């Protein structure tokens, strides 16, 4: 078996279901990262989960024995904030967690305005009905909706739980309004700036993940290699049915390298 990391400059790693599942590190994750570091391959952690801040992720990874920095964490929330700053938006109404609101406030954007320019939907694990009521009220006044990512569910050790994709359906049923823009994987805006920074071409990049419609789709859009791990959402049967085969299919991140 040839080394699937030959000539690679950057590895993008999904977190939930790839590096860890809930509060458990996936077997071999630490070794895989050590291997990348020893080969001088840059690596970044990508998460569509907008319920947490970068610092939350740094802390969680450190608890699991992986020391990293905020610079290596790329969140779907980053793309939204970047978009709002570029469009000089100051007032939003966020359906999202306190951590997400903090990220907006740090960027100088009001997350709970009474006259928002956008309603922003994040993965709100602290959801209360009042937020749904207010957001629906703004959508009916034609305030456009942004979503941090498209995931229908979030994997947990006990099974999948409702995520933003499901919430988008709720708002569409209730108000008839769809998201104007959906950020996060598989939107290539999430990683293009990193490729530019390291002057990496698509052939020099790898995406590692457990999910077809976000992780593999991002790799397809970037035209880069995809390593599919079966430690999260995708089963071996589903992997076998894929028309376009990933460069690697492995039981988990620890089994990617020969
Ligand atoms: Mg995942």
**pLDDT by residue (tens digit) across 115-161?**
999 999 999 999 999 999 999 999 999 999 999 999 999 878 788 89
Q: Which of 182, 211, 236 is the last residue of a domain?
A: 182
Range in 17-21, 49-53, 199-203, 235-239 with the lowest mean pLDDT: 49-53
Percent of the chain's residues with pLDDT above 70: 100
Cβ-contact 135, 93 below 8 angstroms: yes
- CA 241 to ligand 1 centroid distance, Å: 19
Residues 153 and 212 in one domain: no
- The arithmetic mean of pLDDT across residues 59-79, rounded, is 94
Whether residue 62 is contained in a domain is answered as: no
Does residue 120 fall inside a structural domain?
A: yes
**Shared-domain flag, residues 137 and 192:** no
166 and 195 within one domain: no
Distance, in Å, from the CA atom of 222 to the CA atom of 220, rounded to the nearest integer, reads 5
Domain count of the fold of the chain: 2
According to DSSP H, which parts of the chain are helical? Answer: 29-38, 54-63, 76-86, 98-106, 129-140, 164-175, 192-197, 217-222, 236-241
- Residue ranges near ligand 1 (ion) with Cβ within 5 Å: 14, 16-17, 210-211, 232
Within this chain, do residues 89 and 123 fall inside the same structural domain, yes or no? Answer: yes
| pTM for this model (two decimals) | 0.84
User: Is residue 58 a contact partner of residue 68, using CB atoms and an 8 Å limit?
Assistant: yes
For the chain, state the CA radius of gyration: 18
- Please tell me whether residues 164 and 90 are part of one structural domain: yes
Distance from C-alpha of 209 to C-alpha of 250, rounded to nearest angstrom: 10
Q: How far is the CA of 225 from the centre of ligand 1 (A)?
A: 17
Q: So what's the pLDDT on residue 154?
A: 86
82 CA from centroid of ligand 1 (Å): 23
Tell me, in angstroms, the distance from the centre of ligand 1 to residue 211's CA: 6
89 Cα to the center of ligand 1, angstroms = 30
Residue 170 and residue 92 share a domain: yes
Centre of ligand 1 to C-alpha 134, Å, is 30
> Does residue 198 sit within a domain?
yes
**In this structure, is residue 217 part of a structural domain?**
yes
Instruction: Tell me what the mean pLDDT of segment 1-26 comes to.
Output: 93
Output the pLDDT for position 50: 87
- Residues 220, 250 within the same domain: yes
What is the model's pLDDT at position 78? 87
* pLDDT confidence bin for 167, thresholds 50/70/90: very high
Shared-domain flag, residues 90 and 166: yes
Q: Is residue 58 part of a domain?
A: no
HSE (side-chain half, CA atoms, 13 Å) at 138: 24
- How is residue 227 written in tokens? 């390593």
Q: How confident is the model at residue 193 (pLDDT cuts 50, 70, 90)?
A: confident
Q: What is the mean pLDDT of residues 180-184?
A: 94
What are the phi and psi torsion angles at 61 (to 5°)?
-65, -40
Is 177 a domain residue? yes
Which of 160, 182, 204 lies at the terminal end of a domain, its last residue?
182
**Is residue 201, in this structure, part of any structural domain at all?**
yes
Q: How many residues does the chain have?
A: 258
pLDDT digits (tens, 9 = 90+) for 89-116: 999 999 999 999 999 999 999 999 999 9
Q: Quick check: 113 and 213 in contact, CB under 8 A? A: no
Angle, CA 106 vertex, CA 163 and CA 60 arms, to 5°: 50
Q: Residue 119: which domain range? A: 77-182
Same domain, 101 and 168: yes
Residues 155 and 221 both lie in one domain: no
Please indicate, yes or no, whether residues 242 and 213 belong to a single structural domain of this protein: yes
pLDDT at position 79 over 90: no
Give the lowest-confidence range in 116-120, 160-164, 215-219: 160-164
Q: Please give the Cα distance from 143 to 117 (Å, whole number).
A: 6
Q: What CATH number is attached to the domain comprising 118?
A: 3.40.50.1000
- Residue 258: the pLDDT is 83
CB 148 within 8 A of CB 78: no
Q: Is the pLDDT of residue 1 over 90?
A: no
Residue 59 within any structural domain of the chain: no
- Residue 151 CA to ligand 1 center (angstroms) comes to 10
Q: How far is CA 144 from CA 147, 176, 180, in A?
A: 10, 12, 6
Say how far apart CA 241 and CA 251 lie, in whole Å: 16
Residue 24 has pLDDT above 90, yes or no: yes
Domain boundary residue among 158, 182, 206? 182
State whether 191 and 140 are in the same domain. no
């Amino acid at each position: 078996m040839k080394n699937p990391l030959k000539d690679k400059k950057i590895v993008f790693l999904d977190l939930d279901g790839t590096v860890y599942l809930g509060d458990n590190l996936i077997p071999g994750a630490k070794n895989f990262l050590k291997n990348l570091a020893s080969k001088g391959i840059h690596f970044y952690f990508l998460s569509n989960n907008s319920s947490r801040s970068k610092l939350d992720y740094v802390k969680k990874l450190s608890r699991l024995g992986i020391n990293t920095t905020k610079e290596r964490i790329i969140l779907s929330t980053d793309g939204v904030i970047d978009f709002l700053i570029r469009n000089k938006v100051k007032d939003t109404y966020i359906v999202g967690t306190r951590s997400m609101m903090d990220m907006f406030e740090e960027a100088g954007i009001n997350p709970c305005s009474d006259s928002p320019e956008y309603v922003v939907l994040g993965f709100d694990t602290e959801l209360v009905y009042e937020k749904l009521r207010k957001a629906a009220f703004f959508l009916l006044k034609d305030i456009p909706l942004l979503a941090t990512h498209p995931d229908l569910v979030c994997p947990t050790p006990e099974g999948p739980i409702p995520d933003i994709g499901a919430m988008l359906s709720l708002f569409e049923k209730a108000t008839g309004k769809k998201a104007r823009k959906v950020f996060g994987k598989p939107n290539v805006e999430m990683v293009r700036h990193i490729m530019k920074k390291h002057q990496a071409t698509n052939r020099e990049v790898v995406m590692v993940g457990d999910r077809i419609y976000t992780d593999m789709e991002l790799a397809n859009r970037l035209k880069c290699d995809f390593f599919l791990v079966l430690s999260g959402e995708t089963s071996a049967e589903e992997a076998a049915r894929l028309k376009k085969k990933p460069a690697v299919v492995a039981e988990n991140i620890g089994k990617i390298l020969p």
